[in-house]
Amino acid sequence: MKEVRVRFAPSPTGYLHIGGLRTALYDFLFARNQSGKAVLRIEDTDQNREVKGATESLIATLHNLGIDFDEGPETGGEYGPYIQSQRLDLYRQHALELINKGHAYYCFCSTATLSQMREEQQAEGEFVKYDRRCLKLSKEEVNARLNAGEPHVIRLKMPDNYRFAFDDEVRGHVQMDSSQSDDQVLIKSDGFPTYHLAATVDDHYMQISHVIRGEEWLSSTPKHIWLYECLGWEAPKWVHLPLILNTDRSKLSKRMHDVSVESYIQKGYLKEALINFVALLGWHPADDRELYSLEELCEAFSLDRVNKAGAVFDLTKLDWMNGQYMRSLPLHTIADRAKQWFPPQWTEDYQRYLKIISAARERSTLLPELTEYARIFFKPAPLNPEDKDFLLAESSQKVLQWYLQQLTGIDADDAEAINTITKAGIKELGIKGKYYYMPLRLALIGQAHGPDLPTIIGILGKDETLIRLGAARH
């Protein structure tokens, strides 16, 4: 059996998109599941769109998420170089081979000519495609124009009246007519290849067994199949992933969501939740589980469980999942990742900081929310008029006075003792429910709801607890 080799081939044009992360993740999961190799290849043939530092940023983001490729620009490998701008001679060589075989031709049409051609075809209601006027040029005329240095491109000559048929690992048997395919540009006027030629050549030489990519590339597959046939190569297996959709079923876009992976990390989403959530955008496991570690995803992943239907990006679901990981990951892990959102002085006493994180993560969804929740332990929330009146009520003052006296001889970290005096107060004062607990919480943290009293007192410490209770007495 042929070794499984997959590739993630992003363009260095900015941030890593959620859709790009899913493709990279599926490549990684499939390679690990099949004991194969995952290749990272940088497709930088569109020099005008390249953003400086984007490649390094993309690799760093994937690494931080736990996705490390077996081969690539930084790790190397026997099929490099893994940056397309360093492989230009190879693409040119095969473009000329296609010309010699009669499968490609030179085109000298200007941008203005092509625009006029498109407008005329649209006006006639025709399928917009190149009309092959340069295919009619004689060999002598082509050579003369080339020798004169006239700007040109190289186009693939698609077959006429041809029915392409191929099997897709997700969509099953697919048939497409060649009449719906244009004579694609293979080499641009700047000498750089287009995606179609470069990807085909690289996939062949890098021995890629499965091409995993988004559904939007499905319509281009006939061009790629034809290139493989014309060059006499065996095509890889095709895997076209479903679209990622907004909740209104429109295609995920910047207008509806922030789609940068880095932005979600900066907002305080955990990498474990993001990976888990993105894995389920188009793939469903054999059981009804929803929470998977990256290692578990590697074991469970298979292409036959990738859906055809579009996957909805439900931010509410991501928030829920992030909350689950906030509470289930080791306390030290959450504490260390949350530190960047905390003032340094709040984390100096690390044991107290851990207690705060332990209490806060039970009621938080994102990492920055831990900081907001922690404020009550450094300064009580300001009371609204109703709470102030409640705290001044006779029964509230009785509770505060009694609790203050009882707590004097208790260790702040002795949760059992605090629970004991709390229960004793209810019995002795005959006050219960909100009339008992609410005055204590208002005095200690400035709000009616929050952690249990042993947790609050354990975080505040004995001295601060007594100060806050005393300040609430009138």
Provide the annotated active-site residues.
Answer: 254
| Burial letters 62-90, b for 16+ CB under 10 A, else e | beebebebbbbbeeebebbebbbbebeeb
Do the Cβ atoms of 434 and 448 come closer than 8 Å?
yes
The encoded tokens of residue 396 equal 């509230």
In 186-305, where does DSSP find H-type helix?
A: 195-205, 221-231, 261-266, 271-279, 294-300
> How many other C-beta atoms can be found within 10 angstroms of the C-beta atom of residue 95?
21
Match 């290692």 to its residue by tokens.
295
Q: What are the respective helix, strand and coil percentages of the chain, to the nearest 5?
A: 50, 10, 35
Residues with Cβ within 8 Å of residue 168, at least 6 apart in sequence: 174, 218, 238, 239, 240
Residues with Cβ within 8 Å of residue 188, at least 6 apart in sequence: 153, 194
Reduced to 3 states, what is the DSSP secondary structure of residue 237? strand
Of the candidates 287, 451, 444, 425, which has an alpha carbon nearest to the alpha carbon of residue 380? 444
Task: Give the helix/strand (H/E) hosting 167.
Answer: strand 163-168
Write the DSSP string, 75-139: TB-TT---BGGG-HHHHHHHHHHHHHTTSEEEE---HHHHHHHHHHHHHTTPPP----GGGGS-H
The encoded tokens of residue 153 equal 């491109």
The encoded tokens of residue 198 equal 């470069």
Residue 397 pairs in a beta bridge with none
Residues with Cβ within 8 Å of residue 143, at least 6 apart in sequence: none
Residue type, 39: V
> How many other C-beta atoms can be found within 10 angstroms of the C-beta atom of residue 354?
16
Residue type, 171: R
Sign of CA dihedral 412, 416, 417, 423: positive
The encoded tokens of residue 458 equal 């354990």
> How many other C-beta atoms can be found within 10 angstroms of the C-beta atom of residue 402?
17
The encoded tokens of residue 87 equal 């492989």
